[in-house]
């Protein structure tokens, strides 16, 4: 009888001791604190918003809806796991996939985040991919961009050029810096070891809160090393040694409440990898940067042209314009072609000059934010109205056809600053297979519209897409 009581007493004591140890283990996790920061949260938000608009324009994004939705879902799971003390109600986290082969990801102040296709394809499971994302989210949540600007005492040097986006924060180095600077001539200042360690630790905590195993973040460094032929890619050299990070993250995981069945291989992860691997090979960030540099705008191709009141009528003969191998259309043979970084224009003599065209056609591609023809078309129209303040939209947009596809037609008009008369601009938009928006704009003075309508109809009806 006494023996039984003794065993019960020992068992009860051991349970009390185990219960006492549980909260101690939780409290033993490394404490992370917000760095000193003299800037407002609004400054992070504005910097990120402005930078993301340029990223979206300058870098190839994956428009596959299934992949995009998957990355958004993983990102949302991680954001919901950010500890309360690091949440900012003004931050708007978003997640997009860059069609680049480098194993990398980067985040912008205020929440926009970009995940390289190469990182998703290289990850061995969803946990490794989520680990990179959690690290990047931690840089945002801890406001490291403006905190570093505070330490270095110069807002202009650090934030004035998009430079202090969190480019390549986990992998960093030249490749990350190239992406972070969007091809600028100077490299961004890299994050200190202190900030990198903070993001590793908070990233591990976010992972555990979200149902992942933080050890997968540590394992990602081994995956990276494997991709680099036995050692980490060179851009790791400017960051804390992967071995130290591997040990620190694994040590942190011992003190976190990690699920006994953490998220590893999921249907969404396998499907996303499979869809990406079926796509044409992605370029490296260095190749993308070189392409951006080669496409930098030069002088206006129409510079030196002289506007005239006697512009010749469109020729009844036509020449074929070919936009690579994906677009063909006919244009009057007496119109000159002017190519720029973002568009191609056709105009007769006397209808072009330093301020654009007064008669003719303009073609281009708009990389919208919505992957929706109606909303992206209106986004394009709004941009044109901002750039040409004398124009006003006339009525509502209308449905039409262009190149055998559903299209939208919008009419603008206003008093031309070049010749003083009313200018009529009609914009036709259609969605390409990539999700981008193709646009064709016809331009003519109202007084000449009857002479040009037939030429415009012929050109529009000749459009053929092969994308």
Q: How far apart are CA 18 and CA 16, in angstroms?
A: 5
Per-residue model confidence (pLDDT) at position 287: 81
Average pLDDT over residues 126-141: 95
Listed residue (81, 85, 22) closest to 255, CA to CA:
22
Whole-structure pTM value: 0.56
Between 22-31, 80-89, 175-184, the lowest mean confidence (pLDDT) is in: 175-184
Per-residue model confidence (pLDDT) at position 222: 77
Q: What is the mean pLDDT of the chain?
A: 80
Between 87-91, 170-174, 322-326, the lowest mean confidence (pLDDT) is in: 170-174
Q: How far apart are CA 453 and CA 464, in angstroms?
A: 20
Domains and CATH numbers, the chain: 20-291 (no CATH), 318-465 (3.40.1000.10)
Decide: 73 and 12 in contact? Cβ < 8 Å.
Answer: no
Neighbours of 215 (CB within 10 A): 21
Confidence of residue 141 (pLDDT cuts 50, 70, 90): very high
Per-residue model confidence (pLDDT) at position 453: 93
- pLDDT tens track for 212-267: 999 999 998 777 767 654 333 433 433 445 447 888 899 999 999 999 999 999 99
Per-residue model confidence (pLDDT) at position 72: 98
Q: Has residue 365 got a pLDDT over 80?
A: yes
Q: How far apart are CA 455 and CA 460, in angstroms?
A: 9
Q: For the chain, how are helix, strand and coil distributed in percent, rounded to 5? A: 45, 20, 35
Which residues have CB under 8 Å from 193's CB, separation 6+? Answer: 239, 240
């Amino acid at each position: 009888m006494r023996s039984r009581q003794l065993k019960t007493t020992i068992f009860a004591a051991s349970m009390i001791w185990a219960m006492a140890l549980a909260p101690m283990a939780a409290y033993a996790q490394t404490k992370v604190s917000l760095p000193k920061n003299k800037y407002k949260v609004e400054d992070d938000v504005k910097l990120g918003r402005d930078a993301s608009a340029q990223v979206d324009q300058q870098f190839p994004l994956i428009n596959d809806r299934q992949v995009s939705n998957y990355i958004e879902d993983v990102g949302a799971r991680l954001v919901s796991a950010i500890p309360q003390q690091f949440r900012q109600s003004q931050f708007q986290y978003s997640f997009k996939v860059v069609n680049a082969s480098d194993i990398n990801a980067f985040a912008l102040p205020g929440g926009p985040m970009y995940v390289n296709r190469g990182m998703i394809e290289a990850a061995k499971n969803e946990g490794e991919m989520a680990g990179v994302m959690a690290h990047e989210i931690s840089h945002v949540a801890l406001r490291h961009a403006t905190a570093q600007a505070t330490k270095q005492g110069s807002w202009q040097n650090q934030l004035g050029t998009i430079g202090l986006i969190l480019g390549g924060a986990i992998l960093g180095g030249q490749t990350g810096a190239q992406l972070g600077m969007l091809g600028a001539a100077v490299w961004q200042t890299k994050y200190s070891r202190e900030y990198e360690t903070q993001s590793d630790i908070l990233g591990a905590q976010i992972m555990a809160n979200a149902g992942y195993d933080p050890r997968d973040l540590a394992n990602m460094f081994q995956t990276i090393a494997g991709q680099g032929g036995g050692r980490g890619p060179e851009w790791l050299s400017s960051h804390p040694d992967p071995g130290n990070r591997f040990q620190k993250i694994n040590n942190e995981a011992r003190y976190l409440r990690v699920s006994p069945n953490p998220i590893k291989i999921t249907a969404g992860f396998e499907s996303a990898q499979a869809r990406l691997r079926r796509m044409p090979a992605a370029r490296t960030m260095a190749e993308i940067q070189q392409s951006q540099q080669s496409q930098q705008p030069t002088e206006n191709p129409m510079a030196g042209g002289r506007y005239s009141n006697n512009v010749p009528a469109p020729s009844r003969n036509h020449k074929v314009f070919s936009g690579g191998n994906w677009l063909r259309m006919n244009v009057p043979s007496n119109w000159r072609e002017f190519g720029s970084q973002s568009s191609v224009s056709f105009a007769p003599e006397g209808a072009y000059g330093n301020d654009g065209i007064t008669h003719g056609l303009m073609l281009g591609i708009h990389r919208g934010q919505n992957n929706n023809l109606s909303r992206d078309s209106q986004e394009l129209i709004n941009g044109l109205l901002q750039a040409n303040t004398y124009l006003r939209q006339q009525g509502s947009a209308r449905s039409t056809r262009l190149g055998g596809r559903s299209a939208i037609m919008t009419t603008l008009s206003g008093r031309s600053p070049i010749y003083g008369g009313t200018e009529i601009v009609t914009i036709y938009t259609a969605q390409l297979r990539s999700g981008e928006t193709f646009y064709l704009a016809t331009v003519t003075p109202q007084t000449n519209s009857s002479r040009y309508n037939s030429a415009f109809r012929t050109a529009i009806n000749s459009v053929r897409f092969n994308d």
